[in-house]
Copies of this chain bind each other. A is one copy, B any other.
Amino acid sequence: MGIPVSVFRQLRSISGKAYVTTEKEELLCYSYDATGISHLPDGVVFPGSETEISRILQLASKEKLIVVPRGTGSGMTGGSVPAKGGLVLVTSRMNKILSIDEENFIIRVQPGVIVSDIHKAVEEKGLFYPPDPSSSSVCTIGGNIGECAGGPRAVKYGVTRDYVLGLRAVLPSGQVIQTGVSTAKGVAGYDLTRLIVGSEGTLAVVTEITLKLLPKPLAVKTMAVLFDSMTKAARTVSGIMKNAIIPRCVEYLDEECLCLIRDHLSFDIAENIKALLIIELDGNPDAVEKDAEQIREFCFSSDALEVMTAQTPAEAQTLWEARKALSPVLYKIAAHKINEDIVVPINKIPEMVEVAQRIQRTSGLRVVSFGHAGDGNIHCNIMYDQSDADACERAKRAVEELFSETLRLGGTITGEHGVGMTKRKFLPDEVGETQINLMRGIKRVFDPLNILNPGKIFE
């Protein structure tokens, strides 16, 4: 078993000795993602260029060697875990912003660039790249492409796929393709660009990404709205969207979340507060001012107890930092969590909130909900202790119930985390065997030897 020594010799001659490793300690570092699922690879390679990746995949094809592309491993469904061993291909050295074209509103980047570095680079030039997953300060754009990352601003601006104009990618055979366009429109044949987006590194290794940019909004306004009931907050969300105003973010946090981030907030949370909405608007300064006033009135008419507006960018940032801190601080409740990013139609959010509360009661596990309520995308976190076999069993059943209720309400089991390993067995319930067979067929077209990230999405 394992990879023959001669293959590692060839890998070292491709990428250089310093960039190929089989050391146990290092293999461990590239064995897991944010799910905590871990599987040791046989080796790790850090290629420095598209040419190297092409040569690595040629070699892999020849040797029937599994290759698993990986950014920083912040994924939530095991997408980058080397489930069947093989070689992990880390994009960390391919971390250059290749060009920012201010006249045509596009940026070209390598896959290993950290998403917040893209934000900073374009905002300095008065431009804007909207997708902003909570992990943006650590995750790579390549990983965002792989899973079609979303984040809070999707309400107004859409998700990663809406900004990917074109890709360069290496096929498992080592052949290089350049998909899509560098322009706003383009329909030259089947849409291979958006087929690769969200394919979790199972079809090709992306080596260069052309993203669409927007002008940076001139004003941003961030509001915190407090409610004494989760259901009232959820009802407010579906109401807000009907006012011909589309906020760029509508996030919600339940009572459990508020307890956890109390120390991170710049304001006090009274005893009777059960839910918080974070609403953010952007655009022309006057319009933002006016829209904020309208939303404020609407929130009060929907029984909000308090509507606070951030007076400075720093205040807004504190609020967002509290929100982004949620995912890690959840571990205060229990050693392990299952974070399921279900989506339901906006008007079904109140019902979904009740489902989550019911699951908490029946499972006896803490179920903490927060998320991107503006697009119906709720992160339900089921907290448990993996060393407790009974809790594991209850967590498993809780997930099953959560997914079946999500589908019953017309939703999807994955809004932005992908399928990876953890949702694989549930995918047929959502899309059916006929579609999975089509996906398997497409996989075979791109990867006839099944060497690229096998064991993900479907078997």
Contacts and interface: CB of A to CB of B under 8 A. Distances in A.
A436 interface: yes
A438 B446 contact: yes
Interface stretch (A87-95, A183-191, A256-264): A183-191
B187 A198 contact: yes
A107 interface: no
Contacts of A345: 101, 103-104, 106, 182-183
A376 interface: yes
Contact of A185 (B176, B192, B194, B376): B376
Contact of A189 (B171, B242, B431): B431
Interface in A261-314: 283-284, 286-287, 290-291
Given A244-B217, A445-B445, A416 B185 contact: yes
Contacts of A177: 432, 434-435, 438
A218 B194 contact: no
Which range holds the interface residue count of chain A? Answer: 35 or more
A115 interface: no
Interface string A227-254: 0000000000010011111100000000
Most buried by B among A105, A217, A245: A105
A54 B150 CA distance: 35
A412 interface: yes
A163 to B, nearest CB: 11
Contacts of A439: 189-190, 192
Interface stretch (A11-19, A151-159, A332-340, A358-366): A151-159
A192 B183 CA distance: 23
- Copy number in this complex? 2
A152 to B, nearest CB: 11
Nearest to A294: B284
A290 to B, nearest CB: 6
Interface in A90-127: 101-106, 126
Contacts of A222: none
A185 B343 contact: yes
A340 to B, nearest CB: 13
Contacts of A427: 188-189
B412 A188 contact: yes
B154 A158 contact: no
Contact of A244 (B126, B413, B415, B445): B126
B195 A190 contact: yes
A394 interface: no
A189 B410 contact: no
A104 B290 contact: no
A430 interface: yes
Contacts of A221: none
A150 B185 contact: yes
Given A185-B376, A192-B439, 8 more contacts: A101-B345, A103-B238, A154-B184, A178-B431, A181-B411, A189-B458, A190-B195, A215-B241
By Cβ-Cβ distance, the 10 closest A-B pairs, closest first, are A441-B445, A184-B375, A287-B287, A185-B415, A103-B347, A215-B244, A104-B345, A186-B412, A194-B194, A183-B343
